[in-house]
Amino acid sequence: MTAAAELATRVGVSAACSALGVARPSFYRRSPNPPSTPISRRRPPLALSEAEEQRVIDVLHSERFVDQAPAEIYATLLDDEVYHCSARTMYRVLERHDELHERRRQLVRPAAVKPELLATAPNQVWSWDITKLLGPAKWTYFYLYVLLDIFSRYVVGWLIAEHESAALARRLIAQSCAQQGIARGQLTVHSDRGPSMTSKLVAQLLADLGITKTHSRPYTSNDNPFSEALFKTTKYRPEFPEHFGSLPAALAFGRLFFPWYNTEHRHSGIGFLTPEMVHYGQSAAVLQARSATLAHAFEVHPERFKGRRPQPPRLLPAVWINPPPAPSRALADKSDLTGSSQSNDREAAQGTGTVENGSVSALASSSSAVH
């Protein structure tokens, strides 16, 4: 390669490589890079002189303009009948002096904390939200409030009203907690940052009940995924209408949908069990029965399973909103969560939030019903 380099200085790289049988890419790859020479650019004839540029720097550094953007400084100077240069030239001057950054004084708000919520059993974390249901006329809506246990996906309470109200949300949460027998310090209630969710009425109720409340980050729907998924399931049901003709019609749909969702819907997120099975500690028996059925099928026709014993879909031991750090997750996975501490009595399920507690009651100028 040294010979090729010496020959290239006399006959050129192409001829030297051809004569010596050296590939030109190899020649260039193995040759040391020549030192780069800085390119001297000719000073533009219309550029500011050194004195003019210094005058612009002094203006930009002045107490009056030190925290303003060049475009704003340019407009202000024009109002004072002063012209030094264009706004773009001011940006060039700042760039040459390594001062091209945010100049304005702005309030710096702390970054919103990402909620990290972990549930390893029912009635540890509830998620709640409000969605609109189209009413009989344009721009008219009914409001569906839903409280959901994120571990079991069980709807512990729901309500439909003609308006969004913190008082209604307060009543729904209070009645649902009473029905589920929530103790102080047991529950965390998570929601987005809607007006009802952040209201003082709801905050005072949760404080009185010893319930921790958390909120999603602003404009981050991912922080409340379980409620959003439930609303999609609700609105994609074939019996869900394009609009509801009246509040009783909306309530009639809810009285059909939520019992189906809690007691019949096999949810993919909980091993295709129903929310009721998980919420009331029936999951272990159901999974054991499924395993026995699959074991019998394997004994009868093992060839159909390629010699591997089939297993039913398993129930995850922990559910989270925004997974916590790996060590915390590992601790959660060690817990035995095939059942729950709730009663297995089926009669207890019939006293839950899916059963209507009373008739439609008037609040202010609208009607609602808590379920």
pLDDT tens-digit map of 214-258: 999 988 888 999 999 999 999 999 999 999 999 999 999 999 999
Mark whether 221 and 168 lie in a shared domain: yes
Mark whether 205 and 137 lie in a shared domain: yes
Would you say residue 193 lies in a domain? yes
Mark whether 68 and 165 lie in a shared domain: no
Would you say residue 325 lies in a domain? no
CA pair distance 189, 286, nearest whole angstrom: 29
Strands (E) across 162-238 are located at 188-191, 212-215
Would you say residue 250 lies in a domain? yes
Would you say residue 314 lies in a domain? no
Helix (H) or strand (E) holding 93, with range, is: helix 87-96
Q: Which amino acid, one-letter code, is at 283? A: S
**Tokens linked to 254:** 């809810």
Residue 99's nearest CA partner among 130, 65, 133, 145 is 65
What's the first-to-final CA gap in the chain, in angstroms? 87
Number of domains in the chain: 3
Q: Which 3-state string (H, E, C) describes 245-307?
A: CCHHHHHHHHHHHHHHHHHCCCEHHHCCECHHHHHCCCHHHHHHHHHHHHHHHHHHCHHHHCC
pLDDT value, residue 33 = 66
pLDDT value, residue 9 = 82
Domain that holds residue 73: 50-96
Residue 280's nearest CA partner among 154, 157, 183, 189 is 154
Mark whether 12 and 142 lie in a shared domain: no
Residue 34's nearest CA partner among 54, 65, 13 is 13
Q: How far is the CA of 175 from the CAs of 154, 158, 166, 276, 358, in angstroms?
A: 16, 10, 14, 19, 12
Contact 216, 228 (CB under 8 A): no
pLDDT value, residue 37 = 59
Would you say residue 340 lies in a domain? no
Would you say residue 109 lies in a domain? no
The CATH code of the domain that includes 176 is: 3.30.420.10
Percent of the chain with pLDDT strictly greater than 70: 85
Would you say residue 110 lies in a domain? no
> What does the pLDDT look like over 286-330, one tens digit per residue?
999 999 999 999 999 999 998 899 999 999 999 999 986 665 544
Per-run averaged pLDDT (10 residues), the chain, 371 residues: 81 86 86 64 84 94 92 94 94 91 80 90 96 94 97 97 94 95 95 92 94 92 92 96 95 96 96 96 96 94 91 93 68 44 36 34 39 65
Would you say residue 323 lies in a domain? no
Q: How far is the CA of 84 from the CAs of 71, 81, 89, 93, 167, in angstroms?
A: 13, 10, 9, 12, 61
Percent of the chain with pLDDT strictly greater than 90: 66
Mark whether 21 and 67 lie in a shared domain: no
